[in-house]
Amino acid sequence: MTEETRLIHMGQAAEPLARTVGPPIQRGSTVLLPDAAALYDDAHHQTYGRQGLAAQAALASALAELENAREVALYPSGLAALTGAMLAVLKAGDEVLVVDTVYKPTRRFCDRVLRRFGVAVRYYDPGLDADEVGRLCTPATRLIVLESPGSLSFEMQDVPAIARMARARGAFTLIDNTWAAGHLFKPLDHGVDISVQALTKYVGGHSDVFMGSAAARDPQVARALSDGVLDLGWAVAPDDAYLMLRGLRTLAVRLARHGASGLEAARWLQTRPEVSQVLHPALPGAQGHDLWARDYAGTCGLFAFVLAPELSAAAFLDALQVFGLGFSWGGFESLAIDCDPQLKVRATPPEYGGALIRLHIGLENVGDLIADLERGLAAARRG
């Protein structure tokens, strides 16, 4: 062969690859198959790079073990996982019941996209029990979407009871399980059909990569998720999958630190006269604490509190020096936001009497974080 041709084909990877702690990162769109018969043989699942190679397969396998799932589908963001999973089980003429505390971008998808394609959407109060949610169901109800704890306001739902009710009525259940990161709560063990995570948050852990996952145990649901990913062309990059798998290795130890520091900060806030309420399901007396204690193995660093009515959220936030002001969470850094503008989109907006502040407690020294919160409260008093 000429050198022109040899330049194309020389330098192939050694066989077999050396064994390393992490999987190899294969960057490739083309997958070379062994013979002509394999080109259209459905037994060969990896016929194109978009379907994922070594790193993606390793991550999906690890997440399936974490979630006690049959299969896990990967998506390029947490929102894509939520929307992709919903599209996988819904069709025109169906109805979906969505908890009113749902993550705002999920709500936007339901209102703007699902309704446009003939799927009816109704929102229900997170305080309803399984029987009350069941009474909202109609023959068209195909899916019930849960969040527990709820976004921003941290209401707990009786997930096992709602899952049983839905199954008896022939409806699927889907939960956004990002708060528990698949480690603190196992939805599939409690009868939920689809457990979705924004891996961007705690699994990634470093605020530098986007990804989502949807886990299922039932073979038909798992196939629907897999077909949905294939049909819509979702794909995740091998480098991103590698980073997610790296983050997964330290998930348990990071969550333990997040949770312990978060509880310490929450208990401190309970003692402050500037704070009228702390919304944290792991605190005794909080809404849903009994459900949290029954179903969850621990807590993370995300919770909220309510400022006294006369205090300014802007003054509090602007005085913070350690906490960043940002909408994500689950990384190593601590964050704070004012939630009130987001509450207005709910069907039944809660009334707290003061500004609702959400905190993510990161991996910094908790004493430094409490000192920063004290700085913010002092500024709120002055403001």
| Catalytic residue annotation | 50, 103, 176, 201
Question: Which residue type, as a one-letter code, is found at position 215?
Answer: A
Whether 323 and 291 have beta carbons less than 8 Å apart is answered as no
SS3 239: helix
- Burial tier of 180 (Cβ tally within 10 Å: 0-12, 13-18, 19+): buried
Q: Give 147's contacts (C-beta < 8 A, 6+ positions apart).
A: 99, 101, 102, 103, 126, 157, 175, 176
Q: Give 110's contacts (C-beta < 8 A, 6+ positions apart).
A: 86, 96, 98, 102, 121
Locate 334 and state its tokens: 């601590």
How does 62-97 read in b/e, with b if 16+ C-beta sit within 10 Å? Answer: bbbebbebebbbbbbbbbbbbbbbbbbbbeeebbbb
d(CA 109, CA 145): 13
Whether 193 and 218 have beta carbons less than 8 Å apart is answered as yes
Q: Which residues pair with 165 in a beta bridge?
A: none
**Nearest in space to 274 (alpha carbons), one of 366, 379, 349:** 379
Whether 174 and 143 have beta carbons less than 8 Å apart is answered as yes
SS3 369: helix
- Burial tier of 39 (Cβ tally within 10 Å: 0-12, 13-18, 19+): exposed
